[in-house]
Amino acid sequence: MKHKILIVDDEPGVTQALSRLLGRRYDVTVACSGEEALAAIDRAGPFTLVISDHHMPGMDGVELLSRLRSNDGCFGRIMLTGDNDSRLTIASINRAGVSRFLIKPVAAPDLIAHVEASLREVEASFAGAAIAPRLTVLQTELLSGLQFESALFPVFQPKVDMRSGSIIGVEALSRLRPEFGSLSPAQFCGFYENSRRAAEFSRWILDASLARTAHWAALGWPLQVAVNVPPHLLRSRRFADMVHAALDGHGLPGEALQIEITERGAPDLDTEMKDIVAELLERGVSLAVDDFGAGYDSLLTLKELGISVLKLDGWMIRDLTNSARAQHILQSVLEMAARLQVSVVAEGVETAEQADRLRALGCDAAQGYLFARPMQEAELLSWLQTPCRTFPV
Query: Tell me, what's the pLDDT at 243?
Result: 96
265 plus 303 within the same structural domain: yes
**Final residue belonging to a domain, choices 80, 109, 129:** 129
Residue length, the chain?
A: 393
Q: Are residues 230 and 112 in the same domain?
A: no
Residues 169, 189: one domain? yes
In this predicted model, what pLDDT tens digit does every residue of 42-84 receive, in sequence order?
A: 888 788 889 998 888 888 888 888 777 655 555 788 888 776 6
> Residue ranges of the chain with pLDDT lower than 50?
127-133, 263, 265, 294-297, 393
Asked whether residue 163 falls in the same domain as residue 146, the answer is yes
Are 105 and 198 members of one domain? no
The pLDDT of residue 132:
40
Residue type, 361: L
**Residue 265 CB partners (closer than 8 Å, separation 6+):** 295, 296, 297
- Total structural domains in the chain? 2
> Phi and psi at residue 269, in whole multiples of 5°?
-75, 140
Tell me if 393 is assigned to some domain.
no
Domain that holds residue 112: 4-129
- Same structural domain, 281 and 160: yes
Handedness of CA 354, 355, 360, 366 (dihedral sign): positive
222 and 87 in a single domain? The answer is no
**Distance (Å, whole) CA 206 – CA 221:** 18
User: Same domain, yes or no, for 358 and 260?
Assistant: yes
pLDDT of residue 143: 81
Return the CATH number at 73.
Answer: 3.40.50.2300
Same domain? For 14 and 45 the reply is yes
Contacts of 378 (CB under 8 A, 6+ apart): none
Residues 375, 230 share a domain: yes
- Domain boundary (110, 129, 148) is at 129
Residue 104 lies in a domain: yes
pLDDT one-digit tens code per residue, 219-249: 999 999 999 998 888 888 999 999 999 999 9
Residues 6+ apart with CB under 8 A from 73: 97, 264, 295
Neighbours of 91 (CB within 10 A): 17
Domain end (from 129, 155, 189) = 129
> In this structure, is residue 392 part of a structural domain?
no
